[in-house]
């Protein structure tokens, strides 16, 4: 069976689907935590240990909903002002803490996925969006991003 496409969804039904593949039937030990259903196991305190799903997605385990993402707009550094801007997202407040090894995400119709927009490591400028890593907009905060969306460097340097 599968999760219904219409009607009311319940945590019990989702837990039954996760454990038995039978939405609406099967014995579940309470409590049920959404974190455990999404990430597998029972580390959040669920009465059952759920199988891990979507293990190739980033981040895994999932760290939260859309409210945990911050948007920043980047411009490719090789020709500022002439390159199109791209909006990416981070789970860390970029103004107070975007650091190397943070992953940048793109929002697609199915949710947030690691941003793979750069075909190699590129530098990007963050214009007119506040102060980043102690750099004001006038001192040109910038980051380098790998092809897998990982921030490799950050700093202040105008083009």
The residue extents of the domains of the chain are: 1-53, 66-156
| CA 45 to chain CA mean position, Å | 24
Say if CB 35 and CB 43 are below 8 A apart: yes
For each of the chain's 159 residues, which pLDDT tens digit applies?
A: 578 888 888 889 988 999 999 998 999 998 888 778 877 888 878 899 988 876 665 555 555 444 577 778 887 776 656 667 788 888 777 666 677 888 888 877 667 778 877 655 677 777 667 677 777 777 778 888 888 888 888 888 776
Distance CA 18, CA 122 (A): 41
Distance CA 35, CA 45 (A): 9
Say if CB 63 and CB 92 are below 8 A apart: no
Distance CA 138, CA 157 (A): 10
- The pTM assigned to this predicted structure is 0.52
Helix ranges restricted to H, the chain: 11-20, 34-39, 94-97
């Amino acid at each position: 069976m599968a999760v219904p496409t219409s009607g009311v969804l319940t945590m019990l039904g989702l837990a039954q689907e996760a454990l038995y593949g039978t939405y609406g039937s099967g014995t579940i030990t309470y409590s049920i935590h959404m974190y455990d259903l999404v990430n597998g196991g029972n580390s959040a305190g669920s009465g059952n240990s759920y199988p891990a799903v979507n293990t190739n997605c980033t981040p895994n385990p999932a760290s939260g909903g859309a409210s945990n993402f911050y948007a920043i707009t980047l411009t490719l550094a090789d020709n500022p002002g002439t390159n199109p801007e791209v909006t990416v997202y981070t789970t860390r407040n970029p103004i107070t803490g975007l650091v190397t090894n943070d992953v940048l995400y793109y929002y697609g119709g199915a949710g947030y996925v690691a941003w793979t927009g750069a075909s190699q490591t590129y530098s990007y400028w963050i214009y007119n969006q506040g102060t980043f890593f102690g750099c004001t907009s006038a001192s040109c905060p910038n980051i380098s991003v790998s092809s897998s969306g990982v921030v490799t460097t950050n700093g202040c340097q105008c083009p």
